Amino acid sequence: MKGKKRYIRYGSFLLALLVMFLPVLVSAQNYQVRPGDSLYLISRRFNVPTDTLKNTNNLGSNMIYPGQTLTIPTAYKVRPGDSLYLIGTRNGISLSSLRTTNNIWHNYLEVGQTLYLPSAQGNTNPGSGSSSSGGQVYTVRTNDSLYLIAKRYGTTIQALKTANKLSSDFIYPGQVLTIPTGAGPSNPGGNSGNNGNTGNNGSTGGNYGNKYNLSQTEIQLLARLVRAEAEGESYEGQVAVAASVLNRLNDPRYPNTISQIIYQVDQGIYYQYSPVMDGRINLPPTASTLKAVQDAINGWDPSSGAIGFYNPAKTTNRWVRSQPVTTQIGNHVFFRN
């Protein structure tokens, strides 16, 4: 009898695993717009919010036209053990597409919460790629702007607007942009010799602190932290480190100056940033880290709203490992709480 109970419990465990990982077999459907249709009427007909329809179909306005094909996402109820990653994997939907459709840029889900699943797309890359015509395309991310994208690809705002027939500077997460021919990802940290005066150059460094009212001393300190924490990381990883510190500046749970955030020591024991403890914070900033701080101040946040980061190969801290992960860039895992 005891053996039978063990068998039943083991079988229940296997069933739970199958439910968690097997495909849910739900799929979006296509709808062809008819005369007299509107996004409001279509949303009522299919019981899908208007904003969700716009996000799913990369619509910048409520304008639709007869004959246009719209993707109608499928409603899905969150179950115990679900995560955005698992839901996307089970249904062949990229995490980026799932986030864009539902306008969710964090990892928190509640059991019973309704998500909308777009068409299965495989594991698409939310960053750069190639269009069907062979040109380069880019999917807009949270906190992107035409200014930042133009700088990233060595082009101009006007060239981006012309290539994408944009009448304004407005863009939104999930929107697919065509990168003008001849542009390519720039390496802002590459020509450091040419950027040695970034902090004092009126055309670049002049934007420092406009949003956060940071002093040059605070900017230099933040750039020193970025060097100490992410000198061996990619440029995107350096910007992400700077952005995570700025996110703390916007969070009422943390001190309200850059200096206090970086030098914070909880209970007189726990340093928030190890370079403060071992002295690496005193290394001078580089042209690359100064520029990374500038891009973070101007709104680029590759950390996806993180307030901290860690290297999983170097930390055993249970608390940071238990926090919701926003993204991983290079050797750093970024998290929020």
**What is this structure's pTM?**
0.43
Q: Among 6-20, 83-97, 221-235, 236-250, which stretch is predicted with the lowest mean pLDDT?
A: 6-20
Domain ranges of the chain: 20-117, 128-179, 192-335
Angle at 18 between CA 15 and CA 23, to 5 degrees: 145
Nearest to 321 by CA among 311, 330, 331, 329: 311
Contact call for residues 281 and 225 (beta carbons, < 8 A): yes
For range 245-259, the mean pLDDT: 90
In sequence order, what E strands does the chain have?
29-32, 69-72, 74-77, 114-117, 128-130, 136-139, 176-179, 265-266, 270-271, 308-310, 325-329, 332-335
- For residue 125, the model assigns a pLDDT of 38
Is the pLDDT at 332 greater than 90, yes or no? Answer: yes
Question: When comparing pLDDT for 8 and 288, which is higher?
Answer: 288
- For residue 171, the model assigns a pLDDT of 79
Which residue has tokens 């807009």? 140
Is the pLDDT at 110 greater than 50, yes or no? Answer: yes
Rounded-to-integer distance, Cα 310 and Cα 334, Å: 7
> DSSP class of residue 302?
T
For the 20-117 domain, the top CATH level (class) is alpha beta
pLDDT digits over 45-73, tens only? 899 898 888 888 877 778 887 878 888 98
- For residue 185, the model assigns a pLDDT of 53
- For residue 226, the model assigns a pLDDT of 96
Q: What's the fold here for domain 128-179?
A: Membrane-bound Lytic Murein Transglycosylase D; Chain A (3.10.350)
Is the pLDDT at 128 greater than 80, yes or no? Answer: no
CATH code of the domain made up of 192-335: 1.10.10.2520
Q: Among 2-6, 117-121, 126-130, which stretch is predicted with the lowest mean pLDDT?
A: 126-130
Q: Please indicate whether the domains covering 128-179 and 192-335 agree at the CATH topology level.
A: no
How does 180-204 read in b/e, with b if 16+ C-beta sit within 10 Å?
beebeeeebbeebeebeebbeeeeb
pLDDT band for 146, please (50, 70, 90 cuts): confident
Nearest to 103 by CA among 111, 91, 115, 119: 115
- For residue 189, the model assigns a pLDDT of 36
**Cα-only R_g, the chain:** 23
- For residue 28, the model assigns a pLDDT of 65
- Per cent of the chain over pLDDT 70 is 77
Question: When comparing pLDDT for 81 and 21, which is higher?
Answer: 81
- For residue 295, the model assigns a pLDDT of 87
Q: Which residues contact 95 (CB under 8 A, 6 or more apart)?
A: 84, 85, 88, 126
Q: Which residues pair with 69 in a beta bridge?
A: 32
- For residue 182, the model assigns a pLDDT of 64
pLDDT band for 308, please (50, 70, 90 cuts): very high
pLDDT digits over 172-210, tens only? 766 778 888 765 554 433 333 333 333 333 333 333 344
